Structure 1
Amino acid sequence: MNDNKAVIEKFYTSFQRLDAGSMNACYSDDIIFSDPVFGLLKGDDVKVMWEMLCTNAKDFSLSFSGIELLDEGYATCQWKATYTFSKTGRKVTNHIKAFMRLKNGKIIEHSDAFRLSTWLAQAFGWKGTLFGWTGFMKRAVQKNARKNLIRFIATHYPDPET
């Protein structure tokens, strides 16, 4: 089995177990990540994001398939996460296409693509269906996700100098 494929399989099997530590071991220290909810994150912020998502997951299940090695450094796969969105208590099934760049046995870039308006409709019901296509609602969700990440960092990794 190709080493890059093994890294991707380890990442997602760890995610299935909500094991953020093992997921993050697949990343380089200077990982770059992006998705429609969190936008662009780098380094430790990426790793803490996965820790936050794994810690807060409710009724979570994940499947992945179609790992495709495009060349020696690039790969894609599909994954599906089903969970209860904590803010509304609504069930969400998110279909995602991941794009990864790997080097020296580590993921150095990771981008997840999914239709944010579809996610918003599931997570927020009629409000998400009606307004999920608007830039206003998308920006509000992105701002809230960042705020939650900052709060998680402050709670779990307090500044020792304060």
Structure 2
Amino acid sequence: MSKSEINIIEKFYEAFADLDAERMLEWYHDDVTFEDPAFGVLKGEEAKNMWRMLCQTQQGKDFKVITSNIEYTPESGKARWEAYYTFSKTGRKVHNVINATFKFKDGKIINHLDRFSLYRWSKQALGLKGFLVGWTAFFRKKLNKQTRFLLSEFQKKQTTQS
């Protein structure tokens, strides 16, 4: 990985801290694949729209992102980032610690994998309910279904506004 690709990671997260999805997506390849525990695997425009949705829903709220430990090898990059926000459905504060890995193609991010403890997140976001069921496969599947539905609804609105 070259210095320019390290800058890609930094610029991507600087834009995220500003909740500027379009600036973030300048660094995403058109054929990007994104994966995390909440959404599962997203590709191309679906992955891009996920960032648009997240940035839009956090505008004017207490969202904060901090990036650290940007590292690289000749083939890939990685970073640790932390998100601080209030989960809107419960009003509970969340501090999510995410480890991200990246692969690059044509000077852009082609693969982005975010890993975090879904159980830790669920306890913070949902309280007792998260503590009781946040570690189960049932919870993960239900969350994936819900996040996919929200993304689908967001994409429909984007299409009708175009």
Distance 2:147 2:89 in 1: 11
Partners of 1:99 and 1:143 lie apart in 2 by: 24
Q: Where do 1:2-17 residues align within 5 Å?
A: 2-17=3-18
Equivalent position of 1:70 in the other structure = 73
| SS of 1:158 mapped into structure 2 | helix
3-state SS of the aligned residue for 2:68?
A: strand
5+ residue gaps, structure 1, are none
Q: CA deviation at 1:137?
A: 1.4
Deviates more, 1:137-146 or 1:41-50: 137-146
1:42 and 2:43 correspond: yes
Q: How many residues align?
A: 159
Give yes or no for the alignment of 1:97 onto 2:99.
Answer: yes
Give the structure-2-normalised TM-score.
0.94
Tell me, in whole angstroms, the C-alpha distance in 1 between the residues paired with 2:151 and 2:23.
20
Aligned-pair RMSD on alpha carbons?
1.4
- Which residue does 2:150 correspond to in 1? 148
> Which blocks of at least 5 consecutive residues in structure 2 are unaligned?
none
Following TM superposition, where does structure 1 have runs of at least 4 consecutive aligned residues deviating by more than 6 angstroms? none
TM-score normalised over the length of structure 1: 0.94
Mapping of residues 26-41 of structure 1, within 5 Å? 26-41=27-42
Q: Counterpart of 1:120 in structure 2: which amino acid?
A: S
SS state at 2:13 partner:
helix
Structure with the larger RCO, 1 or 2 (CA within 8 Å, 6+ apart) = 2
